[in-house]
Amino acid sequence: MFSPGPALFLKSIGLSPGNWRRGLLIAAVGAPLAVLSGFIGSRDPELGRFYPFSKTACRSTKSFLAFEAAYVLLYYTAWEFLYRGLIFFPLIPAVGLVPALSVQTIISTLHHFGHPPSEIFAALGAGFVFGLIAYYTGSFFYTIFLHALTGVATDFFIFRRDYRSANTGG
Protein backbone atom coordinates (compact mmCIF):
# COMPACT_ATOMS: atom_id res chain seq x y z
CA MET A 1 0.00 0.00 0.00
CA PHE A 2 2.75 2.46 0.92
CA SER A 3 6.13 2.83 -0.76
CA PRO A 4 9.00 1.51 1.35
CA GLY A 5 11.06 4.49 0.19
CA PRO A 6 8.93 7.57 -0.48
CA ALA A 7 11.96 9.86 -0.34
CA LEU A 8 13.65 7.80 -3.06
CA PHE A 9 10.53 7.99 -5.21
CA LEU A 10 10.30 11.77 -4.81
CA LYS A 11 13.98 12.12 -5.67
CA SER A 12 13.52 9.84 -8.70
CA ILE A 13 10.93 12.21 -10.16
CA GLY A 14 13.11 15.26 -9.59
CA LEU A 15 11.47 16.55 -6.42
CA SER A 16 14.77 17.37 -4.75
CA PRO A 17 17.54 19.93 -5.19
CA GLY A 18 19.43 17.34 -7.26
CA ASN A 19 22.88 18.54 -8.27
CA TRP A 20 22.31 21.97 -6.79
CA ARG A 21 25.70 23.41 -7.78
CA ARG A 22 25.04 22.59 -11.42
CA GLY A 23 21.43 23.76 -11.04
CA LEU A 24 22.42 27.13 -9.59
CA LEU A 25 25.00 27.65 -12.33
CA ILE A 26 22.42 26.83 -15.03
CA ALA A 27 19.86 29.10 -13.34
CA ALA A 28 22.38 31.95 -13.14
CA VAL A 29 23.37 31.60 -16.80
CA GLY A 30 19.78 31.01 -17.89
CA ALA A 31 18.18 33.89 -15.98
CA PRO A 32 19.34 36.68 -18.35
CA LEU A 33 18.31 34.51 -21.32
CA ALA A 34 14.88 33.95 -19.74
CA VAL A 35 14.37 37.70 -19.22
CA LEU A 36 15.58 38.40 -22.77
CA SER A 37 13.17 35.77 -24.09
CA GLY A 38 10.36 37.42 -22.15
CA PHE A 39 11.27 40.81 -23.61
CA ILE A 40 11.42 39.46 -27.16
CA GLY A 41 8.16 37.56 -26.68
CA SER A 42 6.43 40.66 -25.33
CA ARG A 43 7.10 42.40 -28.66
CA ASP A 44 4.92 39.84 -30.50
CA PRO A 45 1.48 41.47 -30.95
CA GLU A 46 -0.29 38.09 -30.67
CA LEU A 47 1.43 37.30 -27.37
CA GLY A 48 0.60 40.83 -26.22
CA ARG A 49 -3.09 40.15 -26.78
CA PHE A 50 -2.91 36.70 -25.17
CA TYR A 51 -0.93 37.59 -22.04
CA PRO A 52 -1.16 38.20 -19.17
CA PHE A 53 -3.94 35.64 -18.83
CA SER A 54 -5.74 37.82 -16.30
CA LYS A 55 -6.35 41.23 -17.82
CA THR A 56 -8.09 42.31 -14.60
CA ALA A 57 -4.86 41.66 -12.70
CA CYS A 58 -3.38 44.47 -14.75
CA ARG A 59 -5.58 47.11 -13.09
CA SER A 60 -2.81 47.92 -10.61
CA THR A 61 0.76 47.02 -9.85
CA LYS A 62 -0.35 45.37 -6.61
CA SER A 63 -2.89 43.10 -8.32
CA PHE A 64 -0.39 42.32 -11.08
CA LEU A 65 2.24 41.22 -8.54
CA ALA A 66 -0.29 39.10 -6.64
CA PHE A 67 -1.42 37.44 -9.88
CA GLU A 68 2.16 36.68 -10.94
CA ALA A 69 3.06 35.23 -7.52
CA ALA A 70 0.02 32.94 -7.65
CA TYR A 71 0.83 32.05 -11.25
CA VAL A 72 4.35 30.97 -10.32
CA LEU A 73 3.17 28.88 -7.37
CA LEU A 74 0.06 27.32 -8.91
CA TYR A 75 0.82 27.13 -12.63
CA TYR A 76 4.55 26.91 -13.32
CA THR A 77 5.25 24.63 -10.37
CA ALA A 78 2.46 22.24 -11.38
CA TRP A 79 3.51 22.38 -15.04
CA GLU A 80 7.11 21.42 -14.36
CA PHE A 81 6.09 18.80 -11.79
CA LEU A 82 3.86 17.15 -14.39
CA TYR A 83 5.99 17.38 -17.53
CA ARG A 84 9.53 17.16 -16.18
CA GLY A 85 8.74 15.23 -12.98
CA LEU A 86 5.91 12.77 -13.46
CA ILE A 87 6.26 12.22 -17.22
CA PHE A 88 9.92 12.75 -18.08
CA PHE A 89 11.94 11.24 -15.21
CA PRO A 90 10.08 7.89 -15.07
CA LEU A 91 10.39 7.51 -18.85
CA ILE A 92 14.18 7.80 -18.91
CA PRO A 93 14.94 4.32 -17.48
CA ALA A 94 12.06 2.81 -19.46
CA VAL A 95 12.84 4.17 -22.95
CA GLY A 96 16.08 6.19 -22.75
CA LEU A 97 16.91 9.88 -22.63
CA VAL A 98 16.13 10.96 -26.19
CA PRO A 99 12.73 9.22 -26.43
CA ALA A 100 11.81 10.52 -22.95
CA LEU A 101 12.81 14.05 -24.00
CA SER A 102 10.77 13.68 -27.17
CA VAL A 103 7.64 12.41 -25.43
CA GLN A 104 7.54 15.10 -22.75
CA THR A 105 8.35 17.80 -25.31
CA ILE A 106 5.64 16.67 -27.71
CA ILE A 107 3.02 16.45 -24.97
CA SER A 108 3.93 19.79 -23.40
CA THR A 109 4.04 21.45 -26.82
CA LEU A 110 0.61 20.05 -27.70
CA HIS A 111 -0.64 21.58 -24.46
CA HIS A 112 0.24 24.99 -25.97
CA PHE A 113 -2.07 24.59 -28.99
CA GLY A 114 -4.49 27.49 -29.13
CA HIS A 115 -1.72 29.84 -28.01
CA PRO A 116 0.08 32.18 -30.44
CA PRO A 117 2.31 30.37 -32.97
CA SER A 118 5.49 31.98 -31.60
CA GLU A 119 4.75 30.43 -28.21
CA ILE A 120 4.13 27.00 -29.71
CA PHE A 121 7.50 27.09 -31.47
CA ALA A 122 9.18 28.37 -28.30
CA ALA A 123 7.55 25.54 -26.31
CA LEU A 124 9.01 23.00 -28.71
CA GLY A 125 12.56 24.25 -28.11
CA ALA A 126 12.03 24.90 -24.41
CA GLY A 127 10.69 21.37 -23.88
CA PHE A 128 14.01 19.90 -24.97
CA VAL A 129 16.11 22.47 -23.13
CA PHE A 130 14.12 22.20 -19.90
CA GLY A 131 14.19 18.42 -20.15
CA LEU A 132 17.96 18.45 -20.49
CA ILE A 133 18.28 20.85 -17.56
CA ALA A 134 16.12 18.58 -15.42
CA TYR A 135 18.13 15.55 -16.53
CA TYR A 136 21.56 17.07 -15.88
CA THR A 137 20.56 18.51 -12.52
CA GLY A 138 18.34 15.62 -11.40
CA SER A 139 15.64 18.13 -10.48
CA PHE A 140 12.86 20.15 -12.05
CA PHE A 141 13.31 23.00 -9.52
CA TYR A 142 15.61 24.87 -11.91
CA THR A 143 13.19 24.53 -14.80
CA ILE A 144 10.42 25.97 -12.61
CA PHE A 145 12.63 28.99 -12.04
CA LEU A 146 13.58 29.48 -15.70
CA HIS A 147 10.10 28.74 -17.10
CA ALA A 148 8.44 31.06 -14.58
CA LEU A 149 11.03 33.79 -15.11
CA THR A 150 10.40 33.72 -18.85
CA GLY A 151 6.62 33.88 -18.39
CA VAL A 152 6.69 36.53 -15.68
CA ALA A 153 9.13 38.62 -17.72
CA THR A 154 6.84 38.38 -20.75
CA ASP A 155 3.85 39.45 -18.66
CA PHE A 156 5.85 42.22 -16.99
CA PHE A 157 7.00 43.78 -20.25
CA ILE A 158 3.47 43.60 -21.67
CA PHE A 159 2.00 45.03 -18.44
CA ARG A 160 4.58 47.79 -18.34
CA ARG A 161 3.99 48.76 -21.94
CA ASP A 162 0.23 48.30 -22.34
CA TYR A 163 -1.44 48.46 -18.96
CA ARG A 164 0.55 50.35 -16.38
CA SER A 165 0.92 53.45 -18.52
CA ALA A 166 -2.76 53.33 -19.57
CA ASN A 167 -4.04 52.93 -16.00
CA THR A 168 -1.70 55.31 -14.19
CA GLY A 169 -1.46 58.02 -16.80
CA GLY A 170 2.32 57.49 -16.92
- Map out the domains of the chain as residue ranges: 17-168
Could you tell me which of 37, 40, 41, 42 has the C-alpha nearest to residue 157? 42
On the question of pLDDT at 169 being above 60, the answer is no
Enumerate residues 6+ apart whose C-beta is below 8 A from 69.
none
- For the chain, what is the mean pLDDT? 93
Provide the whole-model pTM. 0.91
pLDDT in tens, 107-142: 999 999 999 999 999 999 999 999 999 999 999 999
Read off the pLDDT band of 5 (50, 70, 90): confident
With 0-12 / 13-18 / 19 or more C-beta atoms within 10 angstroms meaning exposed / middle / buried, residue 132 is: middle
The predicted pLDDT at position 28 comes to 98
Per-residue buried b or exposed e for 71-85, using 16+ beta carbons within 10 Å of the residue's own CB: bbeeebbebbbbbbb
The predicted pLDDT at position 170 comes to 47
pLDDT in tens, 32-67: 999 999 999 999 999 999 999 888 888 899 999 999
